[in-house]
Amino acid sequence: MQPTLPPPTGQNRINCVIDALRGFGLPAFRVGQYVEI
């Protein structure tokens, strides 16, 4: 995370959510489901 960048929005925010889910150790398929929704 770089403080120089503006708050995450749109696709960038989705990517942050995916990274967070991966950080929690959730299965990749579950991450894919969140992206589809």
pLDDT tens across the length of the chain (37 residues): 555 555 556 667 777 777 777 776 655 555 555 555 4
| Confidence (pTM) | 0.34
34, 21 Cβ separation under 8 angstroms = yes
Q: What is the pLDDT of residue 29?
A: 52
Give me the pLDDT at residue 34, please: 55
Residues 14 and 35: beta-carbon distance below 8 Å = yes
Nearest 5 degrees, angle CA 2-CA 27-CA 22? 10
* pLDDT value for 9: 61
Radius of gyration of the chain (CA): 11
Question: What per-residue confidence (pLDDT) applies to 16?
Answer: 76
